[in-house]
Structure 1
Amino acid sequence: MTSPYRIAVFASGQGSNFQSLVDSAHNGRLGAEIALLVCNKPQAPVVERARKAGIDCFLFEPKAYASRGDYEREIAAELAERGIDLIVLAGYMLLLTPVLVDLYAGRMINIHPSLLPSFPGINAIGQALNYGVKVTGVTVHLVDGGMDSGAVIAQQVVHIDDDDNIHSLEDKIHRAEQELYPRVVSWFANGCVHVEGRRITVKHD
């Protein structure tokens, strides 16, 4: 019997995308076990979501460490002990160093609320709305250490209507994220993702 595909979710806030992954795991659509939540804010609501779901947590406060590398080495040890196959960033509000990025090259993904390479960085939803584009969306990409610069795995378009405001557009974006992210994780769990440089293909059996 093969071991289950194991993921660790890194999150810092409310945990809505974390919850969508949990729900997909429970209904059998994720194809993976969420083995660990890594969170740098022990009081964040995502921690309670993990506890309700029976998921182990690695909680830490960055200020307790001398450097980012120090706490990332501790995280890396936790990941190795649990046999983590994929790191899934879901609102993790810390910059990552090569300690983790290099260790999990090709096995660390993030979701961004725009159609990259348009509107990288913070406030991507507001950037798109203020620019006046007619479509935006969400992008799941590999993490390469740059600012939203990793190779694109999947994108989902979100249309901006004339009467949209920041709140309505955020709602649309969040719904798209919660639909796309579990699907992409399932592709990894099923061995469907193939990486050749910046070109990523998804090949289903």
Structure 2
Amino acid sequence: MNVVVLISGGGTNLQALIDGQLDGSLNIDIKSVISNKADAFGLERASRANIQTDVLDHKAFDSRESFDQSLIKIIDQYQPELVVLAGFMRILTPEFTRHYLGRMINIHPSLLPKYQGLHTHKRAIEAGDKEHGCSVHFVTEELDGGPTALQAVVPIQEGDTPEMLAQRVLTQEHIIFPRTVQLFSEGRLRMENNDCLLDGEVLPTEGLQIRSFDQE
């Protein structure tokens, strides 16, 4: 399955996908890693794996619309069956999300629909939550609002700082992100009528949930 990955930073989730491609656990061919920042370390990860990289600096455009239109042109050169947002820190225009509807996924560090947007770990701790985690979801026009495919749940421990919690959540991201990509590549996971379907069955709002309380 042809895949294009969009990043803005370090690319640890990208690395999980690259590792899966290299060891054969993922039936994917990452055609390009695209970043809106030329200094994103994820580009170095891609280059080390002999994967094509592209940079499109959003600061060179006068609007989100013009940036997204140029981004579409680059992505579509690779004819991807799936577009993966792996820490791509851009709010996408409706035109862009509609263009890839049903074939673009994102990973978000919260148990959606809780804590859309930024600073999710801090917000979960301050709210007194007992659980936190991460979600992989299909991308729609609503920010972090598309149907959820997989979630990993981790406990919030006494004395947790946002940084400590973030690290445990990130470990789970590296597990459920490749798993979601593989389910999609196998034709088992799809989006239909704003629902997530796994093996033809509509998933609940939280998607397929994996609990990781072995970390306590």
Give TM-score scaled by structure 2 length: 0.88
| Match among 5, 17, 23 for residue 21 of structure 1 | 17
Question: Deviation per CA, 1:35-59, whole angstroms, max 9, x where unpaired?
Answer: 1111010011111111111111110
What is the match of residue 122 of structure 2?
126
- Please say which of residues 188-197 and 104-113 is displaced more in the overlay: 188-197
User: Which residue of the other structure, out of 173, 177, 187, is the alignment partner of 1:177?
Assistant: 173
Residue in structure 2 matched with residue 195 of structure 1 by the alignment = 191
- Aligned AA (1:115): L
The root-mean-square deviation of aligned C-alpha atoms, in Å, is 1.4
Q: Is the 8 A contact 2:154 2:168 kept in 1?
A: yes
> Runs of at least 4 residues of structure 1 off by over 6 A?
none
Partner of 2:67: 71
Describe the superposition over 1:55-114 as per-residue Cα deviations: whole angstroms up to 9, x where unpaired. Answer: 111102112123222232222222222111111101111111123211100111111111
Query: Match of 1:9, SS?
Result: strand
Aligned residues of 1:143 and 1:149 also touching (Cα < 8 A): yes
1:152–1:198: 8 Å Cα contact kept in structure 2?
A: no
Percentage of pairs with the same residue:
34
- Letter of the 1:109 partner, please give it: I
2:104 equivalent to 1:108: yes
Q: Which amino acid aligns with 1:47?
A: L
SS in structure 2 opposite 1:102?
helix
Describe the SS at the equivalent of 1:126. Answer: helix
Gaps of 5+ in 2: 201-216
Write out per-residue CA displacement over residues 154-175 of structure 1, whole angstroms, 9 at most, x where no aligned residue.
1111111113222221111000
Q: Is the 8 A contact 1:7 1:87 kept in 2?
A: yes
What is the CA–CA distance in structure 2 between the aligned matches of 1:78 and 1:198, rounded to whole Å? 27
Which residue of the other structure, out of 44, 48, 58, is the alignment partner of 1:48?
Answer: 44
Instruction: Determine the C-alpha separation between the residues in 2 that align with 1:172 and 1:178.
Output: 10
Match of 1:164 in 2: 160
Letter in 1 for 2:168: K
Tell whether the 8 Å contact from 2:11 to 2:87 is kept in structure 1 after alignment: yes
1:33 aligns with 2:29: yes
Q: Which residue of 2 aligns with 1:148?
A: 144
Residue identity opposite 1:64 in structure 2: A
1:10 aligned partner: 6
Residue 96 of structure 1, aligned match among 89, 92, 95 = 92
Rounded Cα–Cα distance in structure 1 between residues aligned with 2:30 and 2:75: 12
Q: Which runs of 5+ in 1 are unaligned?
A: none
> Structure 1-normalised TM-score?
0.92
